[in-house]
Amino acid sequence: MPSWPEKPRLIGKSIPRIDGLAKASGKIKYPSDMRPEGTLFGVMLYSPHPHAKVTSIDTAAAEKMPGVKGVVVIAKAGATLRYHGDDIAGVAAETEEQARDAVRAIKVDYEILPHVVTEEDAVKPDAPKIVPSGNARKGRAQTTGDPEAAFKEADAVVEAEYSAPVITHVCLEPHGLTARWDRDDAITAWASTQAVGATAGELAGRFSIPVTNVTVLTEVMGGGFGSKFGADVWGLTAAELSKKAGGRPVKMFLDRIQEHLAGGNRPSAAGKVKIAGKKDGTVTAVVATTSGTGGARGGSNFPFPYVYAIKNVSREHTEIFVNGGGARAMRAPGHPQGCLIMEAAMDDLADKLGIDPLEMRLKNLNDGDKVVDANGKPTISRAGIYREQVPIGAKLIGWENRKPRGQNGKGPIKRGYGMALHQWGGGGTAVNKVTCTISPDGSVELKTATQDIGTGARTILAIIAAEILGLEVKDVISNIGNSTFPPGQGSGGSTTSPSMAPPAFNAVSKARDEFLARVGKAINEEPADLTLQDGKLDVKGKAVMSWKDACRKLGMMGVSVTEGFAEGLASGGVAGCQFADVTVDIETGVVKLNKIVAVQDSGLILDMLTWRSQVYGGVIGGLNYGLFEERVMDPGSGLMLNPDMELYKLAGLSDIPEIVVHAHDTPEMRARGVIGVGEPPTISTAAAIGNAVTNAVGVRVNKFPMSPMNVLNALNAASNKEGKA
Amino acid sequence: MAEHDPTKPRPGTSRRDFLRGSGLAAATAVLTAPAVAALDEAKAAAVEDGPKVLSGELPITLQVNGHEMSCKVEPRSTLLDTLRHRLDVTGPKRVCDRGSCGACTVIVDGDTVYSCTTLAVSCQGHEIRTLESFDTGATGVPHAFHQHDALMCGYCTPGFVTACKAMLEKNPNPTIEEAKRGLDGNICRCGTYVGVLEAAMAAAKAMKKEA
């Protein structure tokens, strides 16, 4: 069984990403930068109403507008538009300005239908039914043990409600692609996607052409976070417009407004939780009625209970439908929601029991939860990983400075600490292939149809090849982002690295073996005596020629090997914990982050620099969720009020506190092989911040984000309650 | 680096232009002293150059990264769309398209400008620099961003690199707080801020060594 080198030269070091300078100098071309010859500009017409029926649509005037080369109607007469931003039509014209004018010239008559856009309104008895079966779809309660009996025997019971709003992905490069018909059965598309293969499949399927005739190119792309896995309606519309225009390329990228409205979102989450425990900190029961909205098509469920082993559990989830854009996977789908509700309830129970919430968490870990080793066997205790990580994080944040809730001094400025635990799966899949080609000129190329969504996937492939061939990372060409290459992983679920590293390792190792066999023959040496290091070929440990000279010995034919997955090089299933230190002004409700600590395992880390960036990025994503982000829907008009980057709040540089990233990079973790890290570090940040704010101000702030309004409302509600009591 | 000439109106939205454009110049509300001063300035300017009416497709020539570049635009075409869609200068990115996120930042006559909210026709005769023209060597800003992994997907990066470059040209010795403020007009979604700040400070240091 293959294994990673025990003393690697490059793997695990901090290596700048190989496309970093091209990105930082503005020279690399993103799909939205491409303007192949003859490009037409596409613009979408989308619904200005939250719920309406198209009674008629007339494109005649639009088609006659200057520069217009095609109009495609998506929502024909009779079609129902289910949210502000739903697709109606697409236009292609010589300039984007002309296409925008033409979109405005499309005459649409609507029959306005009643709408509901908030969870609260959707479940009112007199709410208009926006789906025939009703706006609330109650799941069956899942019960284990006997929660009611456990509540009776408990030393403390807490009942509370917690919630977090819908947030949107806000990919900086909008969704979209440029499509060109190369001939009547072939398409090239430059797409901003997390899955070149799936996007090619969707285009081929839509037009009934062989998928091998569709080339989807994504050299780099500007962020997806789970929302870019296909061609989408607008991408297919671009291809259709291109066909109408005799194959001329049509460039169709969403504007910022529709990007917010239709490009995906993380569903909201709310939970009514009753949790009980014993004086020793054992959590004995939890009953949760949860809900959320993923827009008009659902998808709001999330894992709950989360992380902890609780004997008596009942949980029931209700899917709420509203006239909002559809949810899509967003960085660790479901987990941040489950985490922030569970971890808030854990803290509230610990507070009532009068014990340290850190100790209570350690006491309730799930010792039956085993994650897999590199051979795919569930032999590693996740609880064991938490037990190592939590004390490290506690030390780094200064947990000993934490005071019990509400004991943070008399002045208006309160400091508080909070923590939360998370977990993720994210193993590799075994269906991918990588081709490694060593050419007589000394060049080395890896080829596969995966893509780099900003994680550094391109760089880790080059690191693996350079490690095995004794070269530098810059000597390797990592050729990805092309759907016609050997099949590669779609970048979701933190699966890219564990899926692609093993075939890369295999392909390069076998290419090296063939290379040494052929060079050995050419120079009359035993291949077993040949090794590669420092850019040279060694015979019995002595350098005899440069890598380039050795490659010339191949003659006319290079070495090219395509290989797939192998056991022993990757696994999945991680733990992780985060801590927050905050200061809250209880007069203004403003939360200031002082410090966040993230302790994260992810098996064998291939590039420490890009790995750390991903963890920082996860924390900052979680910080946005915890403090700032919210899709604000107007109940009256049914429109999103903040589809921009001004009132849809995201952190800027001054909002970033000290962030301490601790790689849980132990020999045991390294032996697990490669595991992805895109998602885990974003899960528990918001939960930890919520707990820190609550610890600071002395009352549970139960609504995310931890905005001044939500903090002040929580303080106000608590003082009203006290006043009444 | 070109210093901004105060006698030459700068493209982009200035307070004076905004007040004039919004019709506030004619308003008689109770205003603060600085606002009154700006109004007087705007009224004077309105008399001085008067509005020009442009329409249809216009040929323009822009000075971009030291080259004269010509194309046809409409009066409403933004500098950003002109660079990206007509001149293939695609370093600056279109993200928010409303002057909130900074991804479209370019340097006009030495000052940073959000090119998504600047009309191309207003940029004729001005020196436009985009990050494609920056030195990519070891003392340059792009190098520092690369070495400190101050980018992930990289779509916000051109804006950050440009804002950083312009900031360091004006203030070669920023404190950490000054660097943060200098880059606060830009938004990153991947969460690369830690690397961005490190890169900005490292670039300042590297530029000093070179000088």
- Interface predicted TM-score (ipTM) of this complex, two decimals: 0.97
A304 touches chain B (CB under 8 A): no
pLDDT of residue A406: 87
For CA atoms A53, A59, A65, A67, give the dihedral sign: positive
- Indicate whether A228 belongs to any domain: no
* Total residue count of chain A as it appears in this document: 725
Residues A645, B96: C-beta atoms closer than 8 Å: yes
Domain that holds residue B112: 58-132
Predicted local confidence at residue B27, as pLDDT: 44
B residues 191-210 closer than 8 Å to A (CB): 191-197
Q: Is A192 on the interface with B (CB under 8 A)?
A: no
**pLDDT, chain A, mean:** 97
| Same domain, yes or no: B128 and B160 | no
C-alpha span between A547 and A554 (Å, rounded): 11
Q: Do the chains contact at B132 and A27, CB–CB below 8 Å?
A: yes
B154: in domain: yes
- CA of A385: how far to CAs of A365, A380, A599, in Å? 10, 8, 11
B67 and B128 inside one domain: yes
- Same domain for A513 and A622, yes or no, is no
Residue in A with minimal Cα distance to B143: A21
Interface with chain A: mutation pick from B71, B193, B197, highest number of A CBs within 10 Å: B193
Q: Which residues of A touch B191 (CB under 8 A)?
A: 616-621
**Quick one: pLDDT band at residue A426, thresholds 50, 70, 90?**
confident
Q: Is A391 on the interface with B (CB under 8 A)?
A: no
Q: Are residues B74 and B126 in the same domain?
A: yes
Same domain, B142 and B201: yes
Q: Which of A603, A604, A586, A602 is nearest to A699 (CA)?
A: A586
Mean pLDDT, residues A496-525: 97
What CATH code is carried by the domain that includes residue B83? 3.10.20.30
Say if residue B91 is in the same domain as residue B64: yes
Q: Which of A563, A595, A615 finishes a domain?
A: A563
Tokens of residue A521, six digits: 């023959």
Q: 159-178 in A: which are within 8 Å (CB) of B?
A: 170-174
> What is the distance between the alpha carbons of residues A464 and B195, in angstroms, rounded to a whole number?
24
Q: How many Cβ pairs closer than 8 A exist between chain A and B?
A: 172
Does residue A297 register a pLDDT over 90?
no
- Residue A14, in any domain of the structure: no
At A610, which helix (H) or strand (E)? Answer: helix A608-627
Residues 113-152 of B with CB under 8 A from A: 130-132, 134, 136, 141-143, 145-147, 149-152
Residue B159: which CATH number? 1.10.150.120
Task: Please give, rounded to a whole number of angstroms, the shortest distance from the CA of B47 to a CA of chain A.
Answer: 32
- The helix/strand/coil state of A716 is helix
- Domain termination residue (choose one: A538, A563, A588): A563
Please, which pLDDT band fits residue A721 given cuts at 50, 70 and 90? confident
CB-CB neighbors (< 8 A) of B76 in chain A? 97
Q: How many CB atoms lie within 10 A of CB B44?
A: 11
The mean per-residue pLDDT over the stretch A417-442 comes to: 96
Q: Within a domain: residue A223?
A: no
Task: Write down the number of H helices and E strands in chain A.
Answer: 18, 31
Mean pLDDT of all residues in B12-20: 52
A567-594 average pLDDT score? 97
Tell me, yes or no, whether A646 and A683 share the same domain: yes
Which of A528, A563, A598 lies at the terminal end of a domain, its last residue?
Answer: A563
Provide the domain count of chain A.
Answer: 2
d(CA B115, CA B158): 12
> What is the mean pLDDT of the segment spanning B164-178?
97
Q: What size, in residues, is chain B?
A: 211
Check B100 against A646: CB less than 8 A apart: yes
Q: Nearest Cβ partner of A659 from B155, B158, B194?
A: B194
Q: pLDDT tens digits, residue range A162-218? A: 999 999 999 999 999 999 999 999 999 999 999 999 999 999 999 999 999 999 999
Q: What is the reported pLDDT for B34?
A: 58
* Domain at A366, CATH number: 3.30.365.10
Last residue of a domain, one of B106, B132, B158: B132
Nearest to A619 among B81, B191, B195 (CB): B191
Determine, yes or no, domain membership for A321: yes
Same domain, A515 and A626: no
Q: Which of B105, B189, B196, B197 to mutate to test the interface with A (most CBs of A within 10 A)?
A: B189
Chain A (615-654) residues lying within 8 Å, Cβ to Cβ, of chain B: 616-621, 644-646, 650-654
pLDDT at position B38 is 59
**Partner-chain contact A653 B195, CB within 8 Å:** no
If one counts the domains in chain B, the total is 2
Asked whether residue B173 carries a pLDDT value surpassing 80, the answer given is yes
Same domain membership, residue A692 and residue A582: yes
- Domain-embedded: residue A598: yes
Contact criterion met (CB < 8 Å) for A172 and B101:
yes
The mean pLDDT value for A471-491 works out to: 97
Give me the residue from A21, A220, A620 closest to B193, CB to CB. Answer: A620
B42 within a domain of the structure (yes/no):
no
**Co-location of A518 and A382 in the same domain:** no
Contacts of B101 in chain A (CB under 8 A): 172, 645
Mean pLDDT, residues A687-710 taken together: 98
Do A406 and A436 lie in a common domain? no
- Residue B29: pLDDT band with limits 50, 70, 90: very low
Average pLDDT over residues A317-340: 98
Task: Tell me, yes or no, whether B38 lies in a domain.
Answer: no
A236: in domain = no
| Secondary structure of residue A134 in the 3-state scheme | coil
Residue B13 located in a structural domain:
no
Single out the residue in B102, B132, B162 at which a domain terminates: B132
pLDDT confidence of B12, banded at 50, 70, 90? low
Give CA–CA dist A580/A293, Å, rounded.
28
Whether residues A172 and B97 touch (CB distance < 8 A) is answered with no
- Token pair of A613, please? 């960036």
Which run of H or E residues covers position A461?
Answer: helix A457-469
Residues B124 and B143 in one domain: no
Whether residues B154 and B89 share a domain: the answer is no
In contact, A339 and A422? CB cutoff 8 Å: yes
Closest residue on chain B to A647 (Cα): B100
Same domain assignment for residues B95 and B113: yes
Question: Judged by CB atoms within 8 Å, which residues 659-678 of A form the interface with B?
Answer: 659
In this predicted structure, what is the pLDDT of residue A474?
Answer: 97
- Please indicate, yes or no, if residue A270 is contained in any of the structural domains: yes
The verdict on residue B16 lying in a domain is no
In SS3 terms, A586-597 reads as CCCCCEEEEEEE
Q: What is the pLDDT of residues A26-53, one digit of tens each?
A: 999 999 999 999 999 999 999 999 999 9
Q: Quick one: pLDDT at residue B33?
A: 61
Which H or E element spans position A253? Answer: strand A250-253
Range of the structural domain that residue A447 is part of = 20-28+428-563
Q: What is the pLDDT of residue A351?
A: 98
Read off the pLDDT of each residue in A266-290 and give the average, rounded to a whole number: 98
Contacts of B144 (CB under 8 A, 6+ apart): B150, B199, B200, B202, B203, B206
Is residue A615 within 8 A of residue A598, CB to CB? The reply is yes
Residue B19 belongs to some domain of the structure? no
The two three-digit tokens of residue B210, written as one number: 């070179």
Same domain, A278 and A378: yes
For residue A20, the SS3 value is: helix
What is the distance between the alpha carbons of residues A352 and A281, in angstroms, rounded to a whole number?
Answer: 11
pLDDT at B35: 57
% of chain A surpassing 90 pLDDT: 98
Omega cis (within 30) before A305: yes
pLDDT per residue over A354-367, tens digit each?
999 999 999 999 99
Q: Per the structure block, which two tokens stand in for A579?
A: 């801590």
Within this chain, do residues B199 and B139 fall inside the same structural domain, yes or no? yes
CB-CB contact of A203 with A179 (8 Å): yes
Question: Using CA atoms, how far apart are residues A189 and B100, in angstroms rounded to an integer?
Answer: 30
Decide if A255 contacts A174 (C-beta within 8 A).
yes
Q: Give yes or no: residues B122 and B179 share one domain.
A: no
Residue A494 and residue A354 share a domain: no
Q: What are phi and psi of A207, to 5 degrees?
A: -110, 10
* Across A249-253, A471-475, A581-585, A718-722, least confident range: A718-722
Give me the amino acid identity at A193. T
**Is the domain of A404 the same as that of A446?**
no
Question: Does one domain contain both B71 and B86?
Answer: yes
Q: What tens digit of pLDDT does each residue of A632-641 get?
A: 999 999 999 9
Are the CB atoms for B144 and A35 separated by under 8 Å?
no
Residue A499 lies in a domain: yes
**Is residue B32 pLDDT above 90, yes or no?**
no
On whether both B154 and B174 belong to a single domain, the answer is: yes
Amino acid identity of B91?
G
Question: pLDDT at position A367, please?
Answer: 97
Report d(CA B96, CA B116) in Å as an integer: 8
Q: What is the mean pLDDT of residues B67-77?
A: 97
**Domain stop point among B79, B97, B132:** B132
Has residue B41 been placed in a domain?
Answer: no
When pLDDT is cut at 50, 70 and 90, the band that residue A722 belongs to is confident
Which of A21, A35, A618 faces B88 most closely, judged by CB atoms? A35
Mean pLDDT, all residues of chain B: 86
What pLDDT does B3 receive? Answer: 47
Identify which of A34, A48, A43, A32 has the alpha carbon closest to the alpha carbon of residue A172. Answer: A32
Q: What is the CA radius of gyration of chain B?
A: 18
The verdict on a CB contact (< 8 Å) between A613 and B192 is yes
**Sheet with B127-129: strands ordered across:** B67-73, B58-64, B127-129, B105-108, B111-114
pLDDT of residue B26: 46
| Same-domain pairing of A655 and A711 | yes
B191 and A26 within 8 Å at the Cβ level: the answer is no
Output the pLDDT for position A156: 98
Query: Could you say which of A29, A454, A613 has the minimum Cβ distance to residue B195?
Result: A613
Structure tokens that stand for B175 in this block: 């404190």
Is B74 in contact with B58 (CB distance < 8 Å)? yes
Please tell me the predicted confidence (pLDDT) of residue A1: 80
Among A169, A459, A645, most B C-beta atoms within 10 A, so best to mutate, is A645
Query: Residue B141 falls within a domain, yes or no?
Result: yes
